[in-house]
Structure 1
Amino acid sequence: MPRALLVCVIAWACMLTVSNAWSKGTPVTPGTSFPTNLFSSMYYMPSQPTAEPRPAVARLGGGWFPDALNNPMTLPSHAPASEAVLPAPLHGTQQVKTLIHDVLNSAHQLVRGGNSSFLCNVCRTGLSTLQTLAHTSPELVPDVLTGVCRTLNLFGATALSDQCALTFDRAMYGGPITQVMSYGNFSGEAPDATLVCAAATFCERPSENLSEAFLNDWFHGSRAPSQSTLDRWHAKQAHAQAHFSESSLLPVLHISDLHVDGRYMVGSESNCTFGETRYCCHSISANSALYSKPITHGTVPRANISAPAGYWGNYTCDAPWSLIGNALEAIRHVSGERGYELALFTGDLTLHDDLFRYSHDLIQYSAQALFGALKGILGRTPLFSTLGNHETSPENFYAPHSLPDGRGHQFDWDSDYLARLWRSLGWLDAHGEQDVRTHYGGFSVSPRSGLRIISMNSDFWYFVNVFNYIHSTNPDMSGMLRFLTDELFEAEKRGERVWILGHVATGWDGSQSLEKPSNLFYQIVSRFAPHTIAAIFFGHTHQDHFSVFYRAESGRSADAPRHTSGAATIALNAPSVTPESNVNPSFRVYYVDPHTYDIYDWDQYYADVDTFATSVHGPVWHHLYSARDTYGDLHASVHDHQYSAHVALEHGTRWPQNVPLNATFWAALTDEMEARPALLSTFSRLQSRQSSRANVCTDQDCRKANVCYMRSATAAQGRTCRAGFGSVV
């Protein structure tokens, strides 16, 4: 073959190779067409971008979810009465009027204020009285709660007091709260009463401490792994690093917080204020500066809208179907011909909305629509999910099975539906399906040899879940953490590495989890990391950040020395697809060792809301950063003699290519951030994916607080940091 021809053939072959493999520097523009092929039919498909598409979604058991469920012009006005739940009365009906009077009097005193000791006592007394009413006439408790909303004119506006009353109706929060008041212990200074009042900031927070006797019993006397277990892990780790090959790394997709808003209305108010609704981009959303009339149906006049919601989405609103469809197409495009080995989803399918607009149907519709669409995008790639706090109705709640009167199974409608759905999509087998039914949506599966994925329902450490305030001295009332521990013991025996999935992080700034369950989770992680637990994955905050778990040395996580030498494993918070809370939509691809299942790098992708909010062509997805390229240079801590990881750096400053981005790396990065504050500003910009609406951490107080958050993996640890600089929505 002539040399010139040979050169042309080689050049042509190279060109074909490049054209079939997407370059990280090449923007992805999925286009303006909505992927209707992901759905069996459409209720509405606009010909112009003046309204959102509405997919028709079939129920798992037959039939269809009604179009009215998501029609932007027919917002639900109250929770379905059929979903109300109340405990049975325990005795009598005497003194009801006196009890109601005393509860209202306590509420008035709390609103008036006073010193902390006084308010703590008033709060506990009010709860004790409310419990007596719950035992006597449980059907009256929701009425009392709604009465408190209206008589105290909470938030200073009639519309908001009405909204408060709808939230505490027996079909929404009122029923579960009545159950908690009936089943918990709210007499005097009981721990349940103190914890509730602490959550309301009237009392001091309870201790996180777990006794040595408790921990010895919890771990069946095996508080540390055997030497043979550690030897096996060290040998596997050394082999992986000695035979490291970048080409053998597995691509793993991680997405979180989709929050599809089928009620999103193009042209509605995107810059809304807290009026009839607290959420923007809905037909009744309003800005009080331009429109102050009460509105429950219809639309706000166009002349009274300050910032019309665009077709593709806004920083203040959840993701419309147009943005969800576009993001799914970008995820498909980035995977290329190889696809993803595995996919992870860390919770929150359903939109943010007024609590009384939630229903069982809305939750199941969101799950059916989005998981079905993801199946269409991912093909044979299995997706493993965890439940977000928005994956149930009432939102944020899940009850332990140990409740009396059969109330422990009142959320089985949710976990049973997800069990059947995930099984029907081929993501779980029969054993996994049964796990989901038994463990509140959680499960333990092994999708690849040597890897185990354990999904947890994080509502059982989430401070908003009212059922966590029953017998609150028990850090595992639900049995969820017992399930995790038992699965980890089995994984340790088999020599498996484990990924743990959850939604609400146990730590970071300490604002979202309860002390005792987050501490027990920390103790469990300390026992099984890093030889068994490879990584933990969370969502919820909509932002990109991480928390390092260090070795626990006592039954108090706050006592753990948070030094790089004691780093055990890492919790990674994935950014959201929804732009709500002033962030840019995003997704992540990890590169994972096929034997140790350690993460060696990841690529983050995003689309800029400022660019696409009013565009015709739609979102353009860019490569935002590589974790290794962005954070792998540790020169400042080396120069300041603050580098303390037991890893020899390449060229004296770079994290070695054959060493994973493990807990030691992320702990060392916090040392680097202290030595090089500008890197923390970079981290801060990446948290929101360079959103123009987000704050950038540049002052010393913010930087110090954020490094502290990165080193905090429990509520107690997070509360040792300065408050007010976290990323929680």
Structure 2
Amino acid sequence: MQIASLIFLFLASTITVFVASTHTYNDIPQIISNEVRELKVTKKISHNLTRAVNDLVKIKDKKTSNHLFCQTCDLVIRQIIAYRRSGANKESMVAFFRKLCRTFATWGGVACDGYINIEIDTVLYIIDNRKDLTVHRVCAIAFQPKNCTDPNAHKWTVDLPPKRKTVKTHHPSHSEASPLKVLHLTDFHYDPLYEPGSNAACNVPLCCQKSNGPPSKATNAAGYWGDYHVCDTPWHSITELMTHLKDAHKTFDLIYYTGDIVSHRSWATTKDENVKAIKELFQLFNKTFKATPLYPILGNHEPHPTDFYSPGNVTSKVSTQWIFDLMASEWKRWLPDETKATILAGGYYTVLVKPKFRIIALNSNVCFISNLWLLYHDEDPYDQLKWLVDVLTKAEKDGEKVHILSHIPPGEIQCLQRWTSQFRKIVDRFAPIIVAHFNGHTHLDELRLFRDPTNHKKIINVAYNAGSFTTFVGFNPNYRTYDVDANTLEVLDYDHYTYNLTKANQNKDKDPEWYKLYSFKDAYGLKNTTYDSLTDLIGRMSRNRTLMQQYFRYQGRDSDPYTAQGCDDTCLRKLVCGITAVEASESIQCQNIKKRTT
């Protein structure tokens, strides 16, 4: 999960106001130009603009709203770029952004100033050095879910080798030995500033900290073990999890950690604080799991600024190369020396766990549209997808089976469309050797199924999202264990563990009561986890409302607030659609599903 970068959130706030501020569509461009131009010299907002905020809800047609949104984005971005290129210095740009943020965003002055101070150097670097930067490019990337387009976008591709003859493909038989036990942890979002009893309903993008002051009422007091409000994870909750894992499970053969260590306090991060949090968690993992092989990957929150992964050829002032340098050092306790080169190059690596079993760990955060560096360079950042093809090609030749670890799950709506389409193409080509994907990021317990592009009734690949340990926002903490066949490397089943945060917080002197929420096969009536069974499952889900209500509850780990919000028929249809949405374009289509009319 991300708190989007300053420029994106500023636009999201300002544009919706502008769009609603007119009674006729033809007035929109002039209103925008006038208002943005005035904000460079004044803080005053016209009465018409103020009144327009109240008209926002009247724009109900999504297609019309998206069109106006994208049109307005073009005009706002044109003002920003032109102001800088007309000679505005850094101080002038900071002052301009402060007016925009304080006028239209709801974070308050502290968060506004924090985002601006952290991100301004990157914003100005991109405007100054990407000479062909266009408003269409910015809006198409920043507001991809709104279907904004760039007619001049470069449709880059990743070359694939021809398919090998299937008759020569080796299919290992299922092992009679005990399955491998794999622990999947993800999205801890450790908050060093978490303060039990502090205000959990504050006016900045992350609460439950001493600086948020006392709560206005008892129900807004941050819980001891965590909180359902906009809050992250205290250290004592993380150490309790480690103790529980050692006590409740004899041993694990492998551990996957799929990213996001740093908290959501993105307007106030520093490089040093991020480094400290990352080192503390990895040291705890090392102490807890000792010699057990652990395979970590980066999340979008590890760098500073949040979400930003810079190209390798930018100046040191705005470069995020330090995060790769840090990971190369921290991960060497678990990974072989030969992984160092690709970790330093882009935060990704591959390991042959044992003969015929390969793990590929990706840095998919580069595709996240809040990664502002996509505006500077978006064509296969770090040549990672090209490298992925090369690794898979050799793995196929050597008869290996592959697990792919990736923070951003397939089909994430905020992953660059071109990246997701190329990744999907790679998975389609190498589906016979890619046994499973393991993801995080969304904080949701999710299943993603790849369909055969020539036969949509046929499932050819599967991705598992293990939810999150953080409660951000409204979730119960969780972890997951998989039974993996020792020969085929297929997931035979998994168990999902959680505890009820409400009950846990009622007695802070007692450890939380962990329990198994469900087992995959039992919960969904599966004979096995073959692609044929998963094909049958998605068919049953599309017809069975009760089954999908269960899927909805499990997404939030049966938490009290998540379950209370409910999921109507339109919501359920979007959930079903999302299970087979493995490209961003498909996820956008799922979100645009309308309520059925009679």
Do the two structures share a fold, i.e. TM-score over 0.5? yes
| Aligned partner of residue 546 in structure 1, secondary structure | strand
Structure 2 residue matching 1:628: 3-state secondary structure: helix
Distance in 1 (CA, whole Å) between partners of 2:401 and 2:359 is 9
Return the match for 2:102 from 131, 141, 153.
Answer: 153
CA contact (8 A) 2:114 2:268 kept: no
Q: Given that residues 499 and 514 in structure 2 are in contact (C-alpha distance below 8 angstroms), is that contact kept between their aligned partners in structure 1?
A: yes
Partner of residue 165, structure 1: 113
CA shift, 1:667, in A, is: 3.2
2:451 is equivalent to residue 550 of structure 1:
yes
Q: How big is the shift at 1:278?
A: 2.4
Task: Give the residue type in structure 2 aligned to 1:538.
Answer: N
- Pick the aligned partner of 1:702 from 555, 571, 580: 571
Q: Distance in 2 between matches of 1:516 and 1:208?
A: 13
Residues 207 and 223 of structure 1, relative CA distance in 2, 3 Å threshold:
farther
Equivalent AA in structure 2 for residue 268 of structure 1: S
User: Letter of the aligned partner of 1:250 in structure 2?
Assistant: L
> Equivalences for 1:204-603 in 2 at 5 Å?
204-205=148-149, 218-219=159-160, 222-228=161-167, 231-233=168-170, 235-236=171-172, 239-240=173-174, 244-245=175-176, 247-270=177-200, 272-273=201-202, 275=203, 277-285=204-212, 299-300=213-214, 306-316=219-229, 317-336=231-250, 339-353=251-265, 355-401=266-312, 403-405=313-315, 410-423=319-332, 425=333, 427-438=334-345, 440-472=346-378, 474=379, 476-507=380-411, 510-529=412-431, 531-552=432-453, 562-563=456-457, 565=458, 567-603=459-495
Change in 2 beyond 3 A, CA 1:186/1:166: farther
Q: Distance in 1 between matches of 2:165 and 2:308?
A: 39
The separation in 2 between residues aligned to 1:673 and 1:138, in whole angstroms, is 56
Match of 2:16 in 1: none
- Contact 1:313–1:319 at 8 Å: present in 2 too? yes
Structure 1 pair 572–535 and aligned structure 2 pair: CA distance change class (3 A): same
Moved more, 663-672 or 520-529: 663-672
Change (3 A) 1:124 1:156: closer
Shift of 1:610: 1.1
Query: Contact between 2:357 and 2:401, CA under 8 Å: does it hold in 1?
Result: yes
CA drift at 1:127:
3.2
Does structure 2 retain, via aligned residues, the 8 Å contact 1:208–1:716?
A: no
1:123: how far off? 3.5
Question: Cα distance 1:681–1:711, how it changes in 2: closer, same or farther (>3 A)?
Answer: same
1:614 aligns with 2:498: no
Structure 1 residue 715: Cα displacement: 0.6
Query: 2 CA distance for matches of 1:498 and 1:279?
Result: 38
Residues 308-359 of structure 1, C-alpha deviations (whole Å, 9 max, x = no match): 22322222221111211111111122321xx111100011111111x23101
> Normalization by structure 2: what TM-score?
0.83
CA contact (8 A) 1:312 1:618 kept: no
2:549 is aligned, of 655, 675, 681, to 681
Give the Å deviation of 1:478. 3.1
Matched to 2:541, the amino acid is M
CA drift at 1:148: 3.3
| Contact 1:131-1:186 at 8 Å conserved across structures | no
Alignment partners' CA distance in 2, 1:672 and 1:602: 20
What corresponds to 2:74 in structure 1?
124
Kindly provide the amino acid, as one letter, of the partner of residue 533 in structure 1: I
Task: State the secondary structure of the residue aligned to 1:330.
Answer: helix
The reply on whether 1:176 has 2:130 as its aligned counterpart is no
Partner in structure 1 of residue 27 of structure 2: none
Deviations 1:101-144 (A, max 9, x none): 5994999999779987676455335434544555575852x742
CA contact (8 A) 1:127 1:186 kept: no
Structure 2: gaps spanning 5 or more residues: 1-35, 57-63
CA distance in 1, matches of 2:409, 2:254: 22
Gaps of 5+ in 1: 1-99, 286-298, 554-560, 634-654
Describe the SS at the equivalent of 1:720: helix
Cα 1:515/1:606, change in 2 over 3 Å: same
CA deviation map 1:431-470 (0-9, x unaligned): 11222112x2211111222111111112211111111122
- Partner residue, 1:15: none
Amino acid at match of 1:631: Y
Q: Which has the larger radius of gyration?
A: 1
1:256 to 1:106, Cα distance in 2 relative to 1, 3 A: farther
Q: Per the alignment, do residues 374 and 149 of structure 1 end up closer, same or farther by CA in structure 2, a change over 3 Å counting?
A: same
SS at match of 2:274: helix
Pair 1:284–1:487, CA change in 2 (3 A):
same
Change (3 A) 1:162 1:533: same
Three-state SS of the structure 1 residue aligned to 2:194 is coil
On the 8 A contact 1:506/1:512 being kept in 2, the answer is no
Report the CA distance between 1:699 and its aligned residue. 2.8
Contact kept? 1:248, 1:594, Cα under 8 Å: yes
Whole-Å separation in 2 of the counterparts to 1:672 and 1:115: 34
For 2:387 and 2:195, the matched residues in 1 are separated by 43
Distance across 2 between alignment mates of 1:254 and 1:703: 27
SS in structure 2 at match of 1:173 = helix
Q: Give the Cα separation in 1 of the matches to 2:247 and 2:233.
A: 20
User: Contact 1:269/1:305 (CA < 8 Å) preserved in 2?
Assistant: no
SS of equivalent residue, structure 2 residue 558: coil
Deviations 1:561-603 (A, max 9, x none): 532x2x2211111111112211111111101111211110011
Q: May I ask how many residue pairs the two structures share in their alignment?
A: 543
Q: Give the structure-1-normalised TM-score.
A: 0.69
The alpha-carbon distance between structure 1 residues 395 and 664, as it changes in their structure 2 partners (threshold 3 A), is farther
Question: Residues 126, 103 of structure 1: CA spacing in aligned structure 2 closer, same or farther, 3 A cutoff?
Answer: farther
Q: CA-atom RMSD, angstroms?
A: 3.2
Instruction: Quote the residue 1:717 is aligned against.
Output: 586
Q: Secondary structure at the match of 1:180?
A: helix
Q: Is the 8 A contact 2:182 2:256 kept in 1?
A: yes
Asked if the contact 2:114–2:267 (Cα under 8 Å) also holds between the matched residues in 1, the reply is yes
In 1, the alpha carbon distance for the partners of 2:225 and 2:591 equals: 37
Q: Is contact 1:506-1:518 (8 Å) kept?
A: yes
What SS does structure 2 have at the residue aligned with 1:478? helix
- How far apart are residue 227 of structure 1 and its match? 3.1
